[in-house]
Structures are given as C-alpha cells and as structure tokens.
Amino acid sequence: MSSNTDLNEVLFERAKKVIPGGVNSPVRAFKAVGGTPRFVQRAQGAYFWDANGQRYTDYIGSWGPMILGHGHPAVVEAVQKAALEGFSFGAPTEREVELAEEILRLVPSMEMLRLVSSGTEATMTAIRLARGATGRAKFIKFEGCYHGHSDALLVKAGSGLATFGNPTSAGVPPEVVQHTLVLEYNNIEQLEQAFAQHGRELACLMIEPIAGNMNFVRASVPFMQRCRELCSQYGALLVLDEVMTGFRVALGSAQSVYAKSIPGFAPDITVLGKVIGGGMPLAAFGASRAIMEHLAPLGGVYQAGTLSGNPVATACGLATLKEISKPGFYEALGSKTQSLIAGLASAARAEGVDFCGDSEGGMFGFFLLDTLPQNYTQVMKTSSPRFNQLFHGLLDRGVYLAPALYEAGFVSAAHTADDISATISAAREVFRAMAK
C-alpha cells in the first residue's frame, strides 16, 4: 500500500460494506461537514491518533465522558483490576452499591438510583417511571433537546402552539408520540399555556438544563424556575436529563448550578450518564425513595438489564468520580474552558468573523453568530458552510471538534494551557481565511 494512502478512507470504505453508513452512530460519519471520518487508533491525555498516525487535540472526549482525559493512570489501574476479577456476573456486586452511594452523596436530590448501560435506556425508563408514579400518560419535551433514541422521544415540534409532536424518525408510528408535547426551549409563555391546557394530564416535563445537542444552549434561570413551579403546581414530575451535564459542568451537576439562583431548586428525577461511567457504557436514573419504589421488584414499573451495574464499568466510574471530587478540580477545569472560549472569541473578532460562545465547567459551545441563541429556531440561523470551513480548517491543523454544527464540545483535565493556546492560534489562521 502506498505511503500516500489515506488509511482512514480505506477503513471507511471497508466499514460502509458491513455497517450502515460505515459508522455505529450517525454523527461520526462526517455527513454534516463532509470529508472522511477519522478512525481512532489510540488516545492518551488530551489527544488521539488516527489510522494514519496523525495526532489531534480532542475536544469531544467521547462526547463528554473523558473528563480526566484518555488513559488516566488511576482509572486504567481500576479497570484492569476489575477485569481480572471478571467481566460480568449478572448478579449484584459491592462495587455497584459503592458507586450508587457515591453518586447519591454528590447529587442529594436523589435518595435512590438504578444503574443501566446507556443514556437512552435511562431516559426511556425515567419517562416510564414518571408515568407509573403519576398514573398519567402525557409529557413535555423541548425542541432541540435530545434524550436518546427511544420512540416516544424522537419527536419534533408540532404544527402549532402546544400541539403534540410528529416523529422525527422512520419506524416511529404517529400514535407512539401522541402523548409527547414538544415546546420551544426558553419560551415561558408557551410553557404556561401548555400547562394550562394539559397540566393535569402530564406525567412529567423532561429537559436538558444545558442543551448539548443544539450546540450549547442553557435554560435561563427564570425559565427553569417556571418549569419547577408549574410541575409542582400541576403534580407533574420535573425530570432533568443530565446525561451530558452530570458531573461535567459541576461536581453537583447542572442542578447544583441552578440551585445557586433558585432557592430550594431540585428535580424530581435525575438522569445521568457519560462521566459516571468514565468512558464505559454506564448510566443511571434516580429520584426520591417514594418515586423509585415504583420500580420492580418493589413496584409495578418494570425495568431490567443483563449488563446493568457491570463490574468493569462501575470500577471505571468510581475511579473517575474519586479523581473529579478532589479539591480545585472544577475551578481548574472551568478556567481552562473559559480561556478557550474567550481566546476563540478574541481571534474571531480580530478577523471580523461573527462569533459567540458560552461554557460551564468542562462543557462549551460556540456559534458563528453575533448573539447567543436561546432556542432551536435561533440556533438554525447559524451558517453550516461557514462552520464546515472552520471545522476542516481546524482539523487540518490537528484540532478535532465535533463533526457537526449542533454539538457541544468538551475540555478535559488533561488539556494544558499550551493546548488551549495552540488551538486558539490555529483558529485565528482559519478565521483569517474565512474573512477573505
């Protein structure tokens, strides 16, 4: 094979023959940005190397879990030890109890939790639990928030105010989403109208406190406060989907950030994933004891999983939580993330390119707009061709961002000040080319 052969292209062509689209999750295919996906061979710290041996500074970190960076020694040691003891038992272990205890200690809105294997599984079951606990069928979600690929949650907004949504995927019958009400993110007036019309029929309201799948859009404090108030008023459960934000934006997760501005704020059900598994397939959902006791074997809401509480995944998660609980961890992580966004904004302004960004903890997002969007409609005003130019310009300079306009980014503890500086310098070169 020629030394000029792009092994990423070779692997992609092989993959497309045996895997739909050549990938096992759609965004990886680079269809949104064009070009060939990078096939990762190995990763360490803040970097990964592709099939050609090219190194990239990684700002997706497996879409959030790698908060410590790749291959943290303490995590690797814990996983290796656990693997020697056994991969899977299908029976209880002490380690899953330890992980549950640690998560509950750090997120006190929950009194009990159940471990599962994916965020999709956790959000799907949280909806079922809310329905079982309230005896109601309908629920609210928001356009631009992604809660996994279960049928009832693959929904786009309906045709009018407070109308029920339409499926966004083939294979989802309209009757499956007939109880899913889709509203505009950060729209208090629409929220109030929806509760006035359907409040006594709502099992729950599910929301990403910081939406990470329309890039990075945070719920305003007044909007989040109104979500809490209306759920309490009408007897619906407030479900915070913190699969992405959990332990990523703060040690107490996003709910602790909102609690600083909203006295007594807490969700009824919390969904967690990504960071709690440290890169292994692991997620969880939790709530008060009264709500969680509706789950089998105590109650009538059924949920089960062969690999739930997997001993290797729980070892990875426990080791990760131990490291991020150390004093000063989030202050340092947040400072690095802020410096990245501030530096990118300064570089863009210097070249006359519209740019705005935001961050919390180790999660960030930016838009090639002059003001931060507040909902999905505003996010859609971003120019895809300009983002694609920025994405490929950075990729050519060894910087790996999410290969899609509508995905948040992540900084890890392994990123150094030099990494941040080099990224900003690379971006300045690309912004200069974009401005011509």
Name the segment(s) of the chain with CATH classification 3.40.640.10.
73-324
Task: Retrieve residue 167's tokens.
Answer: 């499926």
Q: Provide the residue count of the chain.
A: 436
Residue-level pLDDT at 159: 42
Closest C-alpha to 93, from 279, 297, 309:
309
Residue-level pLDDT at 151: 82
CB 260 within 8 A of CB 289: no
Rounded to an integer, the average pLDDT of 414-418 is 98
Residue-level pLDDT at 126: 98
Among the four given CATH numbers 3.30.450.20, 3.40.190.90, 3.40.50.720, 3.40.640.10, the one describing domain 73-324: 3.40.640.10
Residue-level pLDDT at 1: 62
Among the four given CATH numbers 3.20.20.150, 3.20.20.110, 2.40.10.10, 3.90.1150.10, the one describing domain 7-71+327-435: 3.90.1150.10
Task: Tell me the per-residue pLDDT of 295-306, one tens digit each, with 9 for 90 and over.
Answer: 999 999 999 999
Residue-level pLDDT at 165: 62
Does the pLDDT value for residue 158 go beyond 60? Answer: no
Per-residue confidence band for 54, with pLDDT thresholds at 50, 70 and 90: very high
Q: What are phi and psi of 116, to 5 degrees?
A: -135, -170
Percent of the chain with pLDDT over 90: 89
Residue-level pLDDT at 163: 46
Rounded to an integer, the average pLDDT of 328-343 is 98
* Overall pTM > 0.85: yes
Active site residues: 146, 241, 274
Strand order in the sheet with 409-410: 356-360, 363-367, 409-410
Does the pLDDT value for residue 374 go beyond 50? Answer: yes
Task: Tell me the per-residue pLDDT of 79-119, one tens digit each, with 9 for 90 and over.
Answer: 999 999 999 999 999 999 999 999 999 999 999 999 999 99
Name the segment(s) of the chain with CATH classification 3.90.1150.10.
7-71+327-435
Task: Tell me the per-residue pLDDT of 233-282, one tens digit each, with 9 for 90 and over.
Answer: 999 999 999 999 999 999 999 999 999 999 999 999 999 999 999 999 99
433 vs 435, residue with greater confidence: 433
Rounded to an integer, the average pLDDT of 346-371 is 97
CB 167 within 8 A of CB 198: no
Residue 215 region by backbone torsions, left for phi larger than 0, else alpha for psi between -120 and 50, else beta: left
Among the listed ranges 66-80, 146-160, 262-276, 279-293, which one has the minimum average pLDDT value? 146-160
Rounded to an integer, the average pLDDT of 59-78 is 98
Task: Tell me the per-residue pLDDT of 178-211, one tens digit each, with 9 for 90 and over.
Answer: 899 999 999 999 999 999 999 999 999 999 999 9
Per-residue confidence band for 153, with pLDDT thresholds at 50, 70 and 90: confident
Residue-level pLDDT at 3: 67
